[in-house]
Amino acid sequence: MKNNSLKRAFSALAIAAVAASASSMAAFADETNGFSQDQIDASEIKPTVFISVDGSDGGKVFDESIAGKEVECTLNVKGAEDKYASTGFHVFVSTLEIVDDGGDPLVEGGDATKKLAKDVPVYDKTIAGNNGFFAATAGSKDVGKDGVMWTFTVKVPATAKAGDVFPIDIMYRSSDNAEDLFCSCDDTEASKLMQGYTFTRGIYNTTVNNNFAAAAADVEKCPALADIDKSVDAYIAIAGGETTTESTTTEATTTESTTTEATTTASATTSAASSTATGSTTSGSTTSGTGTTSKAATGTTKNPQTGVSGTGAALAVAGLAAAVATAFALRKKED
Give the three-class secondary structure for 154. Answer: strand
Which pLDDT score, from 0 to 100, does residue 285 have?
33
Q: For residue 193, is pLDDT > 60? A: yes
273 pLDDT exceeds 60?
no
Of 43-57, 95-109, 197-211, 232-246, where does mean pLDDT reach its minimum? 232-246
Residue of 172, 186, 228 lying closest to 31 (CA atoms): 172
Residue 150 has pLDDT above 80, yes or no: yes
**d(C-alpha 118, C-alpha 192), whole Å:** 21
Q: Which one is predicted more confidently, 287 or 109? A: 109
Nearest to 178 by CA among 15, 2, 4: 15
The mean pLDDT of 180-201, rounded to a whole number, is 96
CATH code for 2-238+315-326? 2.60.40.680
Residues 6+ apart with CB under 8 A from 123: 98, 104, 105, 131, 132, 133, 134
CA torsion 77→80→84→89, rounded to 10°?
-30
Choose between 292 and 41: higher pLDDT: 41
pLDDT confidence bin for 333, thresholds 50/70/90: very low
φ, ψ for residue 15 (rounded to 5)? Answer: -65, -40
Report the predicted TM-score, pTM, of the whole model to 2 decimal places.
Answer: 0.69
Cβ atoms within 10 Å of 91's Cβ, excluding its own: 26
Q: What is the CA radius of gyration of the chain?
A: 29
User: Residue 243: is its pLDDT beyond 50?
Assistant: yes
Q: Give the strand pairing for 181-183 and 86-92.
A: antiparallel
Mean pLDDT of 262-286: 39
Categorize the per-residue pLDDT at 84 as very low, low, confident or very high, splitting at 50, 70 and 90.
Answer: very high
Measured distance CA(148)–CA(256) in Å, rounded:
54
> 8 falls in which pLDDT band (50, 70, 90)?
low
pLDDT tens-digit profile of 9-27? 555 444 443 333 232 223 3
User: Average pLDDT over the chain, rounded to whole?
Assistant: 74
What whole-number distance in Å separates Cα of residue 220 and Cα of residue 201?
A: 28
C-alpha span between 9 and 333 (Å, rounded) = 10
Nearest Cα neighbor of 134 from 143, 125, 121 is 121
Strands 117-118 and 130-138: antiparallel
Dihedral sign, CA of 188, 108, 174, 94? positive
Amino acid 1: pLDDT: 43
Largest Cα span, the chain: 107
- Region 289-314: mean pLDDT is 27
CA atoms of 111 and 144, how far apart (whole Å): 9
Across 231-255, average pLDDT? 69
Pick 319 or 1 by higher pLDDT.
1
Q: Residue 175: which pLDDT band, with cuts at 50, 70 and 90?
A: confident
For the chain, domain boundaries: 2-238+315-326, 244-300
Question: pLDDT over 90 for what percent of the chain?
Answer: 59
In this prediction, residue 198 carries a pLDDT of 98
Give the confidence band of 186 by pLDDT, cuts at 50, 70, 90.
very high
